[in-house]
Chains A and B, each alone.
Chain A
């Protein structure tokens, strides 16, 4: 038992939510997370989230694919199993381009998706903490992490800020029993 608790406010509209996030941050409160039913454009910027580096991972995976394909075909065609096809040279780069391209895309796509799933801790059988069942449908949640030591004042402040910024419902839940 860590005594970890979550205070969260539910919002009905993403524009109210965005303004709320801005105001809450200006007031110096640390937002733990914002949960939304769909990707809200620009929310990450307002929350001050770091830009994701996922696409760089994609580039690295892609290049791995390119090199794998080229070196493998080069080795097969010129060293391990050189066969004369239609009088073309063993090293026939133009006819290797298609497979090289496909493997680049394949490696990048698989690598990136797995990285994405890993970073987000998404996998079959994961037991997520669902704060409210409406969050994936039509409600937007702004959450604050607190614990047993958090003072009542602090809690009250969070509640007031949420209310003042348009939260329609405010709840407090134990993290461990979720």
Chain B
């Protein structure tokens, strides 16, 4: 397939297939470094603190949190939505970008998928602990029971969420793992010890790389991508339904579904950037996760950030346009009420600051991108806080107005989930290749810098244009046509 020379290469350093295996699997084979051990220990301890706080919550009840009669959803659901949102980038990169044939996704998709799974695990934690009696959590599933005919409420968005998130988790795991199988086989075949070979053989399901297997593999990835694309949309859509089906001013608005999805992709990409910028440095993968990758991801950040921005402004405008005083007040309260800082924090981090990425220099600056990615994650957390707490703390009845403040238990549970997430990611990065090796190899011929870009040394094959019977050799065809 011909690739225009003005396209930027995505794999640098004139790599061969053997070198690619060395570079990408190398970190998996190396002994754990002190830095890695220190990081895992630290994150593990943070996670442990979080789980201790969850233990406190379960032991003493939800009273340990700052919730009250008016604000029944606050920090917990904010975190839930925040994590679910972060868990959208992996599937987006692997599925939607696969369908849109964006080759740069191969550099980051594997880690992003892993991140997705870990983020969904963190997210799922919150509604469960919010139930209070977590030992009865299985009640949310419709199962035949002895309490007479009693079924869960199929008309409730909360039940839709149960289905959406469990489906999303399952499908993400399938997508991630089926893609991982060939790469684990590579790890197996490079393993030096019999034990290591055995372990990796179990995990790679005995993959050999037969042509028929690859054919089915490609078919499976394409269909899973096709399924995941509407799935990833549906998940955050259903999360938005939790709010939008209600009649709470500020929650009931039809733009919520697509706007939540865009916001989820936005925050997910930010998290992928935060992690990958560190990973490429630590594992020395700068030649596989290049500035071209970072620039492309930053473009997605501008796009989704702007969609989110348009949605904020649409909401704000329509609240005024509705001429409904409750709608109007919800937005006045957001921007000028006691939680004004979260609204303006959200606007600054999510709408204003990503616009700096219009400047090419900043888009390609690793340091700037890293800070921006953290900034966006903070902003997206504010967004959920604005939507949830600000909308419910002052609604129709003024006598019920109140404030919400988190307790130390809530704060540490949240920080704990970040520790938990990082621990899982660090473990993953140690046992499996962080880059989809087979997929990156498959784009070498069209995106390696020896084949495309300004330092290309190989001449491209032009059989792609064979069917053009009357093409002139110098490529300067069509001059006889005079544009008017």
Contact = CB atoms under 8 A, between A and B. Distances in A.
Query: Are chains A and B touching directly in their complex (CB below 8 angstroms)?
Result: yes
Interface of A: 14-15, 33-41, 43-44, 47, 49, 52, 54-55, 58, 62, 72-73, 76-77, 80-81, 83, 85-86, 88, 92, 95-96, 98-99, 101-103, 105-106, 108-110, 112-113, 116-117, 119-130, 133-138
B190 A113 contact: no
A118 to B, nearest CB: 10
Given A33-B211, A80-B151, A121 B206 contact: yes
Given A86-B155, A113-B174, A124-B203, A133 B211 contact: no
A41 B190 CA distance: 25
Contacts of B203: 124
A38 B182 contact: yes
A137 B207 contact: no
B163 A102 contact: yes
A35 B442 contact: no
20 contacts: A34-B210, A37-B21, A43-B211, A44-B212, A96-B155, A98-B163, A103-B163, A105-B230, A105-B231, A105-B234, A106-B163, A116-B217, A117-B205, A123-B206, A126-B201, A127-B206, A133-B189, A133-B190, A137-B189, A138-B18
Closest 6 CB pairs of A and B: A126-B206, A138-B17, A122-B205, A38-B438, A98-B160, A128-B206
Contact of A52 (B16, B208, B219, B228): B219
A65 B118 CA distance: 26
B312 to A, nearest CB: 25
B186 A37 contact: yes
Given A81-B149, A102-B167, A126 B205 contact: yes
Max count, chain B CB within 10 A of own CB: residue among A80, A85, A120: A120
Contacts of A127: 201, 206
Given A33-B211, A138-B16, A39 B202 contact: no
Interface of B: 16-18, 20-21, 142, 149-151, 153-157, 159-160, 163-164, 166-167, 170-171, 174-175, 178, 181-182, 185-186, 188-190, 201-203, 205-220, 222-224, 227-228, 230-231, 234, 238, 241, 437-439, 441-442, 445, 461
Nearest to B222: A55
A19 to B, nearest CB: 11
Contacts of A62: 227
Contacts of B17: 37, 137-138
B189 A110 contact: no
A134 B17 CA distance: 10
A111 B373 CA distance: 37
A96 B215 CA distance: 36
A99 B461 CA distance: 49
A124 B215 contact: no
A138 B201 contact: no
A4 to B, nearest CB: 16
Given A102-B160, A137-B18, A122 B207 contact: yes
A124 B442 contact: no
Contact of A39 (B149, B154, B206, B214): B214
Name, among B18, B160, B206, B438, the residue most crowded by chain A CB atoms within 10 Å (CB to CB): B206
A99 B140 CA distance: 13
A148 to B, nearest CB: 24
Contact of B205 (A14, A76, A119, A124): A124
Contact of A112 (B190, B209, B224): B224
A85 B208 contact: no
B207 A52 contact: no
B163 A54 contact: no
A109 B170 contact: yes
Given A35-B211, A39-B214, A47-B211, A124 B219 contact: no
